[in-house]
Structure 1
Amino acid sequence: MARHSGSSLGPSPERRPSALSVLNTVFGLPSFRGAQAEIVAHVAGGGSCLVLMPTGGGKSVCYQVPALMRDGCAVVVSPLIALMRDQVAGLLEAGVRAAVLNSTLSWSEAAEVERRVAAGELDLLYVAPERLLTPRCLALLERARLALFAIDEAHCVSQWGHDFRPEYIGLSVLAERFPAVPRIALTATADARTRAEIVDRLGLSDSPVFVASFDRPNIRYEIVEKKSPQRQLEAFIAERHAGEAGIVYCLSRGKVEDTAAALVRAGIPALPYHAGLDAAVRSRHQDRFVDQDGVVIVATIAFGMGIDKPDVRFVAHLDLPKSIEAYYQETGRAGRDGKPAEAWMAYGISDIVQQRRMIDESTGTDAFKRVSREKLEALVGLAETAGCRRAHLLGYFGERAGATCGNCDNCLSPPNVWDGSVAAQKLLSCAYRTGQRFGVAHLVDVLLGRPNERIEALRHDTLSVYGIGAEMTDKQWRAVARQLVALGHLAPDPEGFGGLRLTDTARGVLKGETAVWLREPTSGRKARRDRARAGGAGLPADAERAALIGRLKAWRSGVARARGVPAFVVLHDTTLDAIAASRPTTLDQLRGMPGIGEKKLEHYGADLVALVRAAGAPE
């Protein structure tokens, strides 16, 4: 990119390239979305700010465009090597002078990057927080001309965030040592407590906060009762996402390995990813997922943040995340390209017990444990709501939404709600009379009057509650227990033995002073029928258009292999879809299409036009 000379605060407005011209010619995007234009103008003018914008909402535009408008090098603080690599690869494809400075570089490679920074030969530098905070790097930046600092994944700075990273706290040095350089902090998820800490630690108290809508309307949310989770997952992928890329999250390393192996046996290309694997294996698996089509990665939460793959068609959870922030961040990795995607989770009472035990056994302070329990309860409320899940999710972040969204399981197949007060009294009484020491399986056996050795040994078959719940099934009683925990009338045993105990609010239920309304689960068959009726992915492409997209993807794969970059770095699926829809047969017709900037037009324009011409004109 050609640079403009000027002071450390950037060139004067009359000499500064316009934001729209940078967006058009470099990134091939026709216009800004939402608050992007306002944010870019603020930062390009030397202002600092905090930006909250959902994954796929265009956060990178908010700092990359002003970086190319201002004089000097923009420093992007990023927590993951994968994110740096993909972002830099995409920028280089667009003709932007970008580089990384992280642990993957040899000494000589790092020295060359440092030389280019000092010489003013870079537009953007991506650096890990650990590297940035070293005396050597800080001294280098003090000698360089800087355009701005961008702190990506800024929620990592907060101890209340779902992804706290201690090294991020040290980024407060940026405001202290570089007060004249604008700082833009960006994140997709942060509740009020987390936002306040970001502002405090990064010295943004006098800076505006830009909050975009948290809504991701292209994502369909579905939460199902956990029965046989691996088989449920296999059916979900086979029926709705065969041959498509997806991410499956599990809580433990062992479950990651078992689930990946089960998917492979079912004919689904899947790879495990967790911190216990050798670093080379993790890197190889991640590269296959990013570079190839249709690969499913099964992972712990160690995977995902910063993954820039736009065509992830689903994110599935086999275990309950720790909070709504974590759930939102993880599900947000689906559908970054704006095309239809799904967030699917299998959930049961054992998930609540497990997460509560992890909180209670943690070494955190009492305040941290209290906040963690509150966050877990909020997530359980999302899982158990009978209303619109999207409205519930957005409400958590302080955003008002309509009563229904038409694209979640509860809207597509509304559950029945019934007065479960009597059932709740029976189950609470059973928990109380058995000593508040047993889990849901034992309580259900007592309520159904099922004789077994344990019940007889404990003489629970002599209790007044034995057999009083025979009018309901095992499945129904488990749903009641799960919802009583969600409503806060039952709680996991703090001793961690899996038992359920009554809470203070249970007294009102037992006395008949508190009504309990419960939801009935929707049958899988009805849910599938309602999903099919609702659609969501639009009409399928015609045969000719589909054939052209196939040829374009094959060409893109060849280019990506030759250049050693992921396919989406060459061109996104949305760009290929637009080309197949409009069928440009000249370079002028191709210019300005989404994702086609001047450099990509120069590199790939002739090939793309030739492919379209070879396909023939549409009928």
Structure 2
Amino acid sequence: MPAEAWSGPSDPGLVLHEVFGHPGFRGRQREIVDHVTGGGSGLVLMPTGGGKSLCYQVPALCRPGVGVVVSPLIALMEDQVAAMRQQGVSAAALHSDLDPDARTEARRAFREGRLDLLYVSPERLAMDGMLDELDSRRVALFAVDEAHCISQWGHHFRPEYRALTILADRFPGVPRLALTATADPRTAEDIRRLLGLMDDPVFKGGFDRPNIFVGATDRVAERQQLREFLRSASDGRGAGIVYCGSRKKAEATAQWLCADGWDALAFHAGMEASEKRAAHKRFAAGETVIMCATIAFGMGIDRPDVRFVAHTELPKSPEGWYQEIGRAGRDGLPAKALLLYGAGDIALARSRIAESAAPEAQQAIERMRLDSIIAIAEAAECRRRPLLRCFGEEPPEAPCGNCDNCQTPPRLWNGTVAAQKLISACLRTGQRFGLGHLTDVLLGVRSEKVERFGHDKLPTFGVGRELDAEGWRAVARQLVARGVLDLFVDRRPDGTAAPPVYVVLEAAARPMLKGEVEVILRADIAGKITSSGRRAPGRAAPAATPPTPGGGGRFEALRAWRTATAKAQKIAPFIVFQDKTLEEIAARNPATLDGLAEVSGVGSSKLERYGPAILDVLRSCE
């Protein structure tokens, strides 16, 4: 049952320290908190893990009344309510999955003024007389989380969010704070317009997540590439996510990872609701699992110790990709992201946009977003530079040092002649063949198909032996990315896509063939092709060794205590304490409660609840 409403300090700094256990605000948090506490509204653009939640949680405790938080996902709401109760804050959620008794109790606590924070889904806010009840209660603020969902330009548009446009007119004196980690300038303006925030400030934090290593590469031997990535990225403790482009692939990936000895689960929209709940429960409970998922495993992933995120296909936009990789390293500790993609991904994405029923204006936006994610994937510079530009942020001149291009700068070469050879081979064969056949022609391979069509008699036969098959595929992929080549995408009767059938030329090919355009390409040829047509596997990367935090055995003992404590309360371990807090406790090894209170993340409620047990654990390690 929720506790009595907050009766602690109303000063933001004291609330931050006593409730959340943090010594001070980060970035623009203090500015935002002071603005909202004083009755102001605004839009917060801040990266995942940047501390957006504190921007409304602290003001909700400092202002009289209940803070109403609109959130799109049930699992996220439940995690946040559990976390608030651990901090000694009275919180509840209203959503469709609540049983009648829990819903009745939450409504009663709200009516009786016993709640500090009420988390509610957008559709629940607009039904059951909820707005009428809010009229009769004092509301401290409205916080609209994942605010990009309200915009048609947002990558996760949700029609039910449009009901929130009424808040400005119906509650004119109540602060409204919209928050999102993934909004380009167009989406941000749409959020402001729809929520009546055009005259209110925009608080924009830096979008960079420097603790996440970012890499992208051509998808050559996917399973081997994923194996090597997982061995280098997994620390043996945290979880990981592998995003797949289809339900079938998510299931297949989970199956072969399990066969390799990993604890992997599938997650997609086509699963039974009970299966999805079970999979999500295991992930949220802090187990060391790999979730192989479609984007159905989306917003609201609140787990701080996700150590890696891999994509096996090209995402639709930088915003979606950034949000997905941002689910890694929310605790600020090192994490990794890998993007595997191919020319077929680019062609298929372009085809889907062209065939969609969306208005031309929407299609133009989607094409622009696709071109932006392609630019990031094909970048020869620091990958953070094109990524940050997508969010209207000017990147620093110095390279980040934590992406594949910074750690191993790609070699560039003049590929003008190679591009001309590939274009010529495509043109001379009638634009009716796939890349494998064109490669055979360029390499002088007298395959049955080459001889049957007489392509061994063409001037281009055998003129491309300076590259191997993989090299020509890299050239083709980069020309597809630049809009010089395209791949015809076949459609099965069920509407799904078959592999590209043949290579065709776009208008940009003509000036390139004539030598009017210089073509600079990445020399990203990573290995030779075996006789079977697959990359010759190198030696597997060694498994990552989990870092040993200061305190060694104390840290592991604290983790074991935390697991048992969380299990007894049926909550996720990170809700008790995050790894970062346990590491600091282990390193400091405090002998008293006063010493423990100095650790970031140990607020007064958790100190009272867990302090003596933690000191006992530390003493047992001596």
Q: Same fold (TM over 0.5)?
A: yes
Partner of 2:429: 434
Partner of 1:155: 148
Deviation at 1:458, TM superposition (A): 3.6
C-alpha distance 328-537 of structure 1, shift in aligned 2 (>3 A): farther
Give per-residue Cα distances to partners, 1:102-148, cap 9 Å, x unaligned: 01112332222122212211110111111112252222222221111
Deviation at 1:161, TM superposition (A): 1.4
Partner of 1:488: 483
Identical-pair percentage: 51
Partner of 2:65: 72
1:372 aligns with 2:366: yes
Partner of 1:305: 299
Amino acid of the residue matched to residue 553 of structure 2? A
Q: Say what the alpha-carbon RMSD is for the aligned residues.
A: 2.2
CA distance in 2, matches of 1:227, 1:107: 52
Deviation at 1:495, TM superposition (A): 7.1
C-alpha distance 557-500 of structure 1, shift in aligned 2 (>3 A): same
Residue of structure 1 aligned with 2:522, choices 519, 533, 544: 519
Deviation at 1:524, TM superposition (A): 8.2
Partner of 1:331: 325
Residue of structure 2 aligned with 1:555, choices 545, 561, 569: 561
1:321 aligns with 2:315: yes
Question: Could you tell me the TM-score, scaled by structure 1's length?
Answer: 0.93
C-alpha distance 369-132 of structure 1, shift in aligned 2 (>3 A): same
CA distance in 2, matches of 1:299, 1:539: 27
Q: Is the 8 A contact 1:413 1:522 kept in 2?
A: no
Moved more, 175-184 or 405-414: 175-184
Moved more, 238-247 or 225-234: 238-247
Moved more, 201-210 or 240-249: 240-249
Residue of structure 2 aligned with 1:270, choices 245, 264, 279: 264
Q: Secondary structure at the match of 1:246?
A: strand
Q: Is the 8 A contact 1:24 1:592 kept in 2?
A: no
CA distance in 1, matches of 2:155, 2:179: 15
CA distance in 2, matches of 1:596, 1:125: 23
Q: Secondary structure at the match of 1:281?
A: helix
CA distance in 1, matches of 2:454, 2:156: 47
Partner of 1:8: none
Residue of structure 1 aligned with 2:609, choices 597, 603, 617: 603
Residue of structure 2 aligned with 1:502, choices 505, 517, 526: 505
Deviation at 1:170, TM superposition (A): 1.9
1:249 aligns with 2:243: yes
Q: Secondary structure at the match of 2:269?
A: coil
CA distance in 1, matches of 2:487, 2:157: 26
CA distance in 2, matches of 1:550, 1:136: 49
Q: Which runs of 5+ in 1 are unaligned?
A: 6-14
C-alpha distance 435-136 of structure 1, shift in aligned 2 (>3 A): farther
C-alpha distance 524-64 of structure 1, shift in aligned 2 (>3 A): farther
Deviation at 1:455, TM superposition (A): 3.2
Q: Secondary structure at the match of 2:265?
A: strand
Partner of 1:448: 443
Deviation at 1:408, TM superposition (A): 0.4
Q: Secondary structure at the match of 1:313?
A: strand
CA distance in 2, matches of 1:108, 1:170: 27
Question: Could you tell me the TM-score, scaled by structure 2's length?
Answer: 0.92
Q: Is the 8 A contact 2:347 2:489 kept in 1?
A: no
Matches within 5 A, 1:172-191: 172-191=165-184
Q: How many residues align?
A: 599
Q: Is the 8 A contact 2:81 2:93 kept in 1?
A: yes
Residue of structure 2 aligned with 1:20, choices 6, 13, 21: 13
Q: Which runs of 5+ in 2 are unaligned?
A: 492-499, 529-537
Q: Is the 8 A contact 2:6 2:116 kept in 1?
A: no
Deviation at 1:498, TM superposition (A): 4.1
Partner of 1:578: 584
Q: Secondary structure at the match of 2:88?
A: coil
CA distance in 2, matches of 1:271, 1:524: 31
Q: Is the 8 A contact 2:344 2:487 kept in 1?
A: no
CA distance in 2, matches of 1:111, 1:539: 47
CA distance in 2, matches of 1:240, 1:342: 6
C-alpha distance 185-466 of structure 1, shift in aligned 2 (>3 A): same
CA distance in 1, matches of 2:23, 2:383: 33
1:112 aligns with 2:85: no
Matches within 5 A, 1:211-230: 211-230=204-223
Deviation at 1:580, TM superposition (A): 0.7
Q: Is the 8 A contact 2:255 2:264 kept in 1?
A: yes
Deviation at 1:398, TM superposition (A): 1.8
Amino acid of the residue matched to residue 443 of structure 1? L
Partner of 1:260: 254
C-alpha distance 46-439 of structure 1, shift in aligned 2 (>3 A): farther
CA distance in 2, matches of 1:390, 1:176: 40
Moved more, 421-430 or 209-218: 421-430
Give per-residue Cα distances to partners, 1:408-440, cap 9 Å, x unaligned: 000101111000011111112222223334332
CA distance in 1, matches of 2:27, 2:546: 24
Amino acid of the residue matched to residue 421 of structure 1? T
Moved more, 548-557 or 385-394: 385-394
1:60 aligns with 2:66: no
Give per-residue Cα distances to partners, 1:289-344, cap 9 Å, x unaligned: 12133211110001031111000000011111101111100000000000000011
Q: Secondary structure at the match of 1:559?
A: helix
Give per-residue Cα distances to partners, 1:50-106, cap 9 Å, x unaligned: 000000000000000000001111110101011001000000000100000001112
Partner of 1:460: 455
Q: Is the 8 A contact 1:4 1:71 kept in 2?
A: no
1:131 aligns with 2:124: yes
C-alpha distance 260-448 of structure 1, shift in aligned 2 (>3 A): same
Give per-residue Cα distances to partners, 1:497-549, cap 9 Å, x unaligned: 54333222222211211111001116489xx99x99xxx9997446xx22111
Partner of 1:232: 225
Amino acid of the residue matched to residue 407 of structure 2? L
Amino acid of the residue matched to residue 612 of structure 1? L
Deviation at 1:349, TM superposition (A): 1.1
Q: Is the 8 A contact 1:245 1:313 kept in 2?
A: yes
Amino acid of the residue matched to residue 128 of structure 1? S
Q: Secondary structure at the match of 2:552?
A: helix
Q: Is the 8 A contact 2:348 2:489 kept in 1?
A: no
Amino acid of the residue matched to residue 437 of structure 2? H
1:89 aligns with 2:82: yes
CA distance in 2, matches of 1:70, 1:425: 67
Partner of 1:293: 287
Partner of 1:404: 399
Partner of 1:281: 275
Amino acid of the residue matched to residue 605 of structure 2? K
CA distance in 2, matches of 1:432, 1:405: 42
Q: Is the 8 A contact 1:252 1:300 kept in 2?
A: yes
Residue of structure 1 aligned with 2:194, choices 190, 201, 210: 201
Q: Is the 8 A contact 2:431 2:505 kept in 1?
A: yes
Q: Is the 8 A contact 2:233 2:335 kept in 1?
A: no
CA distance in 2, matches of 1:285, 1:128: 22
Give per-residue Cα distances to partners, 1:199-257, cap 9 Å, x unaligned: 11111111100110000000000112211212221222124415241011001000000
Q: Secondary structure at the match of 1:237?
A: helix
1:385 aligns with 2:387: no
CA distance in 2, matches of 1:205, 1:588: 46
Give per-residue Cα distances to partners, 1:234-281, cap 9 Å, x unaligned: 222124415241011001000000000010000000000001111111
CA distance in 2, matches of 1:570, 1:4: 20
Deviation at 1:374, TM superposition (A): 1.5
Q: Is the 8 A contact 1:585 1:610 kept in 2?
A: no
Partner of 2:350: 356
- Which structure's residues are more often helix, by fraction? 1
